[in-house]
Amino acid sequence: MTTLLPDAEFARLAQRFDHHDPAFTPDVAIEVHRTIREQSRVTYSPAYGGMWLLARYDDVAAALTDHETYSSAAGVFFPKAEGTPRFAPLEYDPPEHGNYRSLMRPPFLLAAAQKLRPRIEVAVAELIRPTARRGSADLVGELAVPLPLAVVGMAVGFSPDAQRRIRDLTANTWDRMAADPNADGFWPPFAELFRQEIARARDEPGDDYLSTLVCAEFDGRPVTDDELHVMLVAFAIAGHETSMNTLAHLLWQLARRPDLQDRVRADPTLIPAAVEETLRLWAPVDHGTRRTTTEVVIGDTVIPEGARVVLLTGAANRDPRRFDDPDTFRLDRGPIRHLTFGHGIHFCLGAHVARQEFALVLAELARYPNYHLAGTPTRYFENGRHICLDSLPVIFDHPTKDV
C-alpha cells in the first residue's frame, strides 16, 4: 500500500467514495480505484444519496456500450448546480442524442482532422519555438492551454476573442458547478459569450463550421438558439478541457523520462504509442455517470432501477485483467483499447483531432533538445473528475536559435 494516506483514510475513501473529498487527489485516486476494482465487481457508496461504482474494464465497457440500460439523460456530473445546461450529445439519449451528434460530427471527422493538420502544425511550431529558444518554459501555460483552444477555434470557428475568454470561463464553471446551489452566479457570462458567437456567425457568416451550424436543421426544422447553445457548450468546454489535460500529462511524462524522449526522437513511429499510453494511464476524465433504466444484476449485486452508476474509467484503464503491467508506461504495448474516449454511441467526437494534435506536438518537440522538469507540478481534480496540472516548468538541455 502506498504511503500517500494512512490506511484508514484509503479505507474510508474506498467505502464512501466521494470525488469531491479534499483527500481524493489524482495520486490517491489510483490506490482508491485499485481497492474498489479488486474488492468486488460492484461497490456501493452512500455519498450524494447513493451510487454504485463499476471499476473493472469489462464491466465499464459493457455499461458504456449499453446506452439503453445506462442512461445519460439525467446528467453525467454530480452534484450539479441547478440551471447548468446539459452537454450535447453526451447528456442525451436517443433519438435526441443522434440529432445532436449528426450536427456536431462533421468538423471532427477523420477527413476534417486531416484538413486541419497544416494549420495545427503551424500553431504547434509557433508555440514551441520561442520556449526552445529561451531554454525554459511552463509547458502548461505556454502550450497545453493555448494549443487546444486554438485547435477547437479552428475546427468550429470560434472567434479569437471567444477563444481567449473560454479558458477563464471554463475554469470558473468547473470550480463552481458542484459548489453553487444554482448556476445564476457563474453561467450568465458563458451564455452571453455563446449568444454573441451565434449572432456573429449569422450576421457575418464565413467558411467556418459555426456559420454552417447556425443555418442547419435539427430533426427536420431550423435549429433553435437553445439547441445551438448546448452544442457550443460541448465544443467550447469539452473541446479544449480534455485535450489540455491530456497534453499536459503527456508532456509531464516525457519531462520525467528523458529516455522516452530519446526513443521517440530516434523512432517517430513510437509517437502514437506514447499518445495512447498517456490516454490510458491519465484519462483526463476520471469517471462518468449514468442512471439505470431497469434493474441490473452484476455478479452477486442487484443494482435497482433509477440508480446512479459511476463508471470509473481511470480504474478500468489500469485493470490487470485487461492490461499487463497496467501501471507502467510502455511504448511496446501494441494496439490497446482503453476507455478514455468512451465506448458505444458516446465515443468521443474529437478523438481524431485530439490524437493528431498530440502527435504533432511530440513530432515538433523531437526536433529540439530534451527538456527536464524544473519544479514539481501539482496534480489536482477540477470538478472532482478532470485531472489537471497547475503548471509544468521545464528546462531544455540547451537553448536553440533555430531548427
CB contact at 8 A, 314 and 91? no
For residues 341 and 345, give the distance between their C-alpha atoms in angstroms, rounded to a whole number: 11
Which pLDDT tens digit goes with each residue over 162-185?
998 998 888 777 767 777 778 877
Least confident range from 231-240, 272-281, 308-317: namely 231-240
The reported pLDDT for the residue numbered 2 is 43
In the prediction, which pLDDT does 182 show? 81
Which residue's C-alpha cell is 484509503? 10
Average pLDDT rounded to a whole number, residues 243-267 = 97
Residue type, 340: T
pTM for this predicted structure? 0.94
Segment 254-264, tens digit of pLDDT: 999 999 999 99
Specify the pLDDT at position 4. Answer: 64
Best-predicted range by mean pLDDT among 14-18, 137-141, 176-180, 187-191? 137-141
pLDDT at position 398: 83
- Per-residue pLDDT tens for 68-99? 999 999 988 888 888 888 889 999 999 999 99
Domain ranges of the chain: 7-396
Q: Is the separation of the CB atoms in 374 and 394 below 8 Å?
A: yes
**Helix, strand or coil, per DSSP, at residue 396:** strand
Mean pLDDT for the chain overall: 92
CA 247 vs. chain centroid, Å, equals 10
Which of the residue ranges 67-81, 259-273, 317-331 would you say has the lowest mean pLDDT? Answer: 67-81
pLDDT at 10: 60
Average pLDDT over residues 128-155: 96
Cα distance between residue 194 and residue 102, in whole Å: 20
Residues 224, 218: Cα–Cα separation, whole Å = 8
Topology of the domain comprising 7-396 = Cytochrome p450 (1.10.630)
Is there a contact between 339 and 60 (Cβ–Cβ < 8 Å)? yes
Question: Whose CA is closest to 385, among 143, 76, 68?
Answer: 76
